[in-house]
Amino acid sequence: MASLPLPLVTLLFIIFFASSSPSARAAQFSVLSYGAKSGGRTDSAKAFAAAWSQACASTGPATIYVPKGSFSVGQVKFQGPCKNNAILVRIDGTLVAPSDYKVIGSAENWLIFEHVNGVTLSGGTLDGQGAGLWSCKKSGKGCPRGATSLEFTNSKNIAITGLASLNSQMFHIVINGCQNVKVQGVKVSADGNSPNTDGIHVQLSTAVTILNSRIGTGDDCVSIGPGTSNLWIENVACGPGHGISIGSLGKESQEAGVQDVTVKTTTFTGTENGLRIKTWGRPSTGFARNILFQHAVMNNVKNPILIDQNYCPGEKNCPGQASGVKVSGVTYQDIHGTSATELAVKFDCSKKYPCTGIKLEDVKLTYDNKPAEALCNHAGGVASGTVQPTSCL
């Protein structure tokens, strides 16, 4: 049998590959086609919702495209389930929240994806314009709670890549009730004094990965809420902010626990905390177990290593009570750097349910070029390798 000439074979391969690749088949929906306008004050929320409606109804893969430019966008709910599980939201421009914080301030979310499967959000900038609300809160006036900039809820197989989130009113990114989520190459930025502007908050979710991201904000860089399991955080730079926090846990008396969390290769610069576990000082069914903190660098951090089981804001509803949250199996491995306070390691655990299985391995934290100090209350565990400050376990 005669063989085909090489150029023809190559051409046939290219035709076959192009026709079979998902990106080639994906239906394209530009927000401009639905009336979105850049550069002005026209609210493009309806255009975004219309593009989503079409992409969600597509039986094959779909792409929603936001070109370069600045788009004023009010609240948008991207509702599923959809007829396909391959929607790419590709953003080359900037989405800007309403300048009047009251417009979305009483809504819980600015942009929310619900009950979706297989959505990838790639690139772009979200500008929450939260500074006005922050000022209102500092003044003590009656202010709305504020909106989370981006939330995925009750969804699965989600990717958020290369996104920048600026100046959210409240949390920047929330992952709630989700399975299999990958957050990669994200940059979060808000003033170090901005209230409740957590970078990424995860709760009631499993198999979430956060990679290669830079987070500077006024609250936790990453906060890990009840019901989180199988969470992997790697190569994250945090600062300013309140560190990477498991908690607060135990606010509710009946509460899902946190387990199987790995936080590795992180850097904290000028933060309030480094690696923190925080629980309310009152009864609860919650727990935190099988936690690994590995390869962390602390640069002038106030509380580099902290377990605080006596959290009781305003000393209301918990004074004199003990935390019911059981903390166990927490390992700190290869943690180095400088503390901004003399007390670099503090394990302040529940008197009713002491911390168990705490491990310190190769920890070296200094304060003012001298060894720092450690404090343990109701904490049990072991230390190995070089541990400085001297272990109190």
DSSP for 185-247 reads: S-EEE--TT-TT--SEEEES-EEEEEEEEEEE-SS-SEEE-TT-EEEEEEEEEE-SSS-EEEE
Q: Per-residue pLDDT averaged across 172-192, rounded?
A: 98
Instruction: Measure the CA–CA gap between 25 and 347, rounded to whole angstroms.
Output: 55
Quick one: CA torsion of 163, 169, 170, 175, rounded to 10 degrees? -30
Q: Rounded mean pLDDT of the chain?
A: 93
Residues 6+ apart with CB under 8 A from 251: 280, 284
List the single range of 2-16, 177-191, 203-217, 260-274 with lowest mean pLDDT. Answer: 2-16
Instruction: Measure the CA–CA gap between 220 and 197, rounded to whole angstroms.
Output: 8
Residue 103: phi, psi to the nearest 5? Answer: -60, -45
Q: Per-residue pLDDT averaged across 97-106, rounded?
A: 95
Phi-psi region of 46 (alpha: psi -120 to 50; beta: other; left: phi over 0): alpha
DSSP for 287-305 reads: EEEEEEEEEEEEEEESEEE
| Widest Cα–Cα separation across the chain | 89
List the single range of 282-286, 301-305, 316-320, 340-344 with lowest mean pLDDT. Answer: 316-320
Q: Per-residue pLDDT averaged across 299-317, rounded?
A: 93
Q: Per-residue pLDDT averaged across 89-101, rounded?
A: 97
Instruction: Write down the pLDDT at residue 356.
Output: 98
Residue 23 has pLDDT above 50, yes or no: no
Instruction: Write down the pLDDT at residue 317.
Output: 80
Go through 146-175 and write b for each residue having 16 or more CB atoms within 10 A of its CB, e for each that does not.
bbbbbbbbbbbbbbbeebbbbbbbbbbbbb
Residue 313: pLDDT band with limits 50, 70, 90: confident
Residue 157 has pLDDT above 50, yes or no: yes
Residue 208 has pLDDT above 70, yes or no: yes
The label of the residue with tokens 């409606």 reads 53
382: amino acid identity, one letter: V
Instruction: Write down the pLDDT at residue 133.
Output: 97
> 172, 201, 242, 378: which is the annotated catalytic residue?
242
Residue 1 has pLDDT above 90, yes or no: no
Residue 58 has pLDDT above 80, yes or no: yes
Q: Per-residue pLDDT averaged across 153-167, rounded?
A: 98
Residue 95 has pLDDT above 80, yes or no: yes
Instruction: Write down the pLDDT at residue 263.
Output: 98
As given in the structure block, the two tokens for residue 327 are 């903390």
Residue 6 has pLDDT above 50, yes or no: no
Instruction: Write down the pLDDT at residue 41.
Output: 84
Residue 9: pLDDT band with limits 50, 70, 90: very low
- The structural domains of the chain, ordered by start, are 53-136+144-218 (2.160.20.10), 220-392 (2.160.20.10)
Instruction: Write down the pLDDT at residue 4.
Output: 42
Residue 276 has pLDDT above 90, yes or no: yes
Instruction: Write down the pLDDT at residue 267.
Output: 98
Residue 255 has a CB neighbour count (10 Å cut-off) of: 20
> What confidence tens digit (pLDDT) does each residue in 258-274 have?
999 999 999 999 999 99
Instruction: Write down the pLDDT at residue 127.
Output: 98
The label of the residue with tokens 């969804």 reads 155
Q: Per-residue pLDDT averaged across 33-39, rounded?
A: 96
As given in the structure block, the two tokens for residue 341 are 């306070």
pTM score: 0.93
Instruction: Measure the CA–CA gap between 21 and 81, rounded to whole angstroms.
Output: 24
Residue 178 has pLDDT above 50, yes or no: yes
Instruction: Write down the pLDDT at residue 17.
Output: 38
CA-based nearest residue to 198, from 229, 175, 177, 173: 173
Q: Per-residue pLDDT averaged across 381-386, rounded?
A: 97
Residue 147 has pLDDT above 90, yes or no: yes
Q: Is 378 a catalytic residue?
A: no
Instruction: Measure the CA–CA gap between 183 and 181, rounded to whole angstroms.
Output: 7
Quick one: CA torsion of 298, 175, 205, 211, rounded to 10 degrees? -40
Residue 35 has pLDDT above 90, yes or no: yes
Instruction: Measure the CA–CA gap between 153 and 156, rounded to whole angstroms.
Output: 9
Residue 7 has pLDDT above 70, yes or no: no
Residue 22 has pLDDT above 70, yes or no: no
